[in-house]
Amino acid sequence: MSWLETELREQPAALARLLEAQSVQARELAAIFRREDVRYVLISSRGSSSNAARYAQYVLGRANRVPVMFATPSLYTIYEQPPRLDGAVVVGISQSGASPDVRAVLAEARRQGRPAIALTNVADSPLGREADAVLPLEAGEEHAVAATKTYMNSLGAIALLFSAIGDDAVARAELDAMPDALERQIELSLGTGPALDEYADAVGATVVSRGVNYGTAFEIALKIRELSGLVVEAYSPADLMHGPIAAVRPDWPVVAVAPTGPAYDSVAEIVPALEERHARLLAVSDVDDLLAAARTPLPLVAGVPEWLSPLVAVVPGQVTAMRLAQLRGLDVDSPVGLRKVTLTR
């Protein structure tokens, strides 16, 4: 078994470990977000961590109704003209904690006297040492280049902060149920997932989602690109319809991520337009009607609250990315030209 599949299967245990080990720390960090002088959240991240940050934009934005936005690291490094951070709590998300540009944003936050928090799998990394406080991801060592369990625990850490900021016992109980739901999802996706042979010669794909799963679309697109080298792009349904759908030709694969919830209808509404273009639809959903309409159904386990659905919705994408790469005879643990830790300035 590849490292990638091994670590994909380890995700439920890694998530359970995070929830058990870091609950107290999450409650302490929640007090920072509730400070009266905090008017917005600024996140610095790269790669898969930026896809987790897209999830944070939704759930942390809901937690205390403040804007959540992305930093522009080049202002801190290349241009050396960092913006004023009055009112910010600054969060750095980096699985390795080694990215210089992510760290530079936290360093500037501390220079300006603003709270700086790190979400990282390596607590004593450069990012962790730069932060005022760290929420360790507890994912354990990850060998495959493509992130699976570190991405999962980045989502879990954000969800843990959400429940702690609101002191929400219901949300915390729902989160505590997720390792079991994730276990069932992995067994469903690996055990009964459809054959993907018809996509072996695909040159690209499009991934579409909205709301809390907007980041899931980007993560699935990234995983397929990393492992298979295909040209894959992610869009919201609205952005897709504003021009990029012109590139969807007959037999072009389109992955629609649409779990039950408020965002479902806006994703499902694009299906007729895709059918008109004779696209091949792959549906990641727990809704029978959408699964029945898809060329390739990728079912989700039922009963997961929408705000936590990204933790299960990414799994069919991880499995699809892995199997597409294997169909093309590629090494899923060491994609061509990639390294586990990428240092960017």
Q: Residue 75 falls within a domain, yes or no? A: yes
In this structure, are 22 and 161 located in the same domain?
A: yes
| Reported confidence tier of residue 233, pLDDT bands at 50, 70, 90 | very high
In this structure, are 193 and 303 located in the same domain?
A: yes
Q: Residue 62 falls within a domain, yes or no? A: yes
Calpha distance 68→83 (Å, rounded)? 16
In the predicted model, is pLDDT for residue 339 greater than 80? Answer: no
Q: Residue 336 falls within a domain, yes or no? A: no
Domain of 220: which CATH number?
A: 3.40.50.10490
The one-letter code for the residue type at 160 is L
Q: Residue 338 falls within a domain, yes or no? A: no
In this structure, are 209 and 95 located in the same domain?
A: no
For residue 58, give the 3-state DSSP assignment: helix
Convert the pLDDT of each residue in 18-52 to its tens digit: 999 999 999 999 999 999 999 999 999 999 999 99
| Start-to-end C-alpha separation, the chain | 35
Task: Please give the pLDDT value at position 334.
Answer: 84
In this structure, are 253 and 294 located in the same domain?
A: yes
In this structure, are 68 and 111 located in the same domain?
A: yes
In this structure, are 190 and 288 located in the same domain?
A: yes
pTM, entire model: 0.96
Give the residue numbers spanning the domain of 70: 3-176
Percent of the chain with pLDDT over 90: 93
Of the three residues 128, 156, 176, the one that is the final residue of a domain is 176
Task: Please give the pLDDT value at position 341.
Answer: 64
Of the three residues 176, 196, 223, the one that is the final residue of a domain is 176
Calpha distance 87→208 (Å, rounded)? 34
Tally the domains of the chain: 2
Calpha distance 220→154 (Å, rounded)? 15
In this structure, are 280 and 196 located in the same domain?
A: yes
In this structure, are 169 and 191 located in the same domain?
A: no
The DSSP secondary structure of 89-153, one letter per residue, reads EEEEEESSS--HHHHHHHHHHHHTT--EEEEES-TTSHHHHHSSEEEE-------SSS-SHHHHH
Q: Residue 332 falls within a domain, yes or no? A: no
In the predicted model, is pLDDT for residue 340 greater than 90? Answer: no
In this structure, are 265 and 126 located in the same domain?
A: no
In this structure, are 126 and 213 located in the same domain?
A: no
Task: Please give the pLDDT value at position 193.
Answer: 77
Q: Residue 198 falls within a domain, yes or no? A: yes
Convert the pLDDT of each residue in 242-290 to its tens digit: 999 999 999 999 999 999 999 999 999 999 999 999 999 999 999 999 9
Q: What sign for the dihedral angle of Cα 23, 61, 263, 219? A: negative
On average, the pLDDT of the chain sits at 95
By the 8 A CB rule, do 232 and 206 touch?
Answer: yes
Higher pLDDT, 344 or 151: 151
In this structure, are 213 and 74 located in the same domain?
A: no
pLDDT mean over 192-210: 93
| Reported confidence tier of residue 335, pLDDT bands at 50, 70, 90 | confident
By the 8 A CB rule, do 106 and 127 touch?
Answer: yes
Q: Residue 344 falls within a domain, yes or no? A: no
Task: Please give the pLDDT value at position 342.
Answer: 65
Task: Please give the pLDDT value at position 255.
Answer: 98
Of the three residues 122, 145, 176, the one that is the final residue of a domain is 176
pLDDT mean over 325-332: 93
In this structure, are 53 and 89 located in the same domain?
A: yes
The residue whose two tokens read 């199997």 is 323
As a whole number of angstroms, the longest Cα–Cα distance in the chain is 55
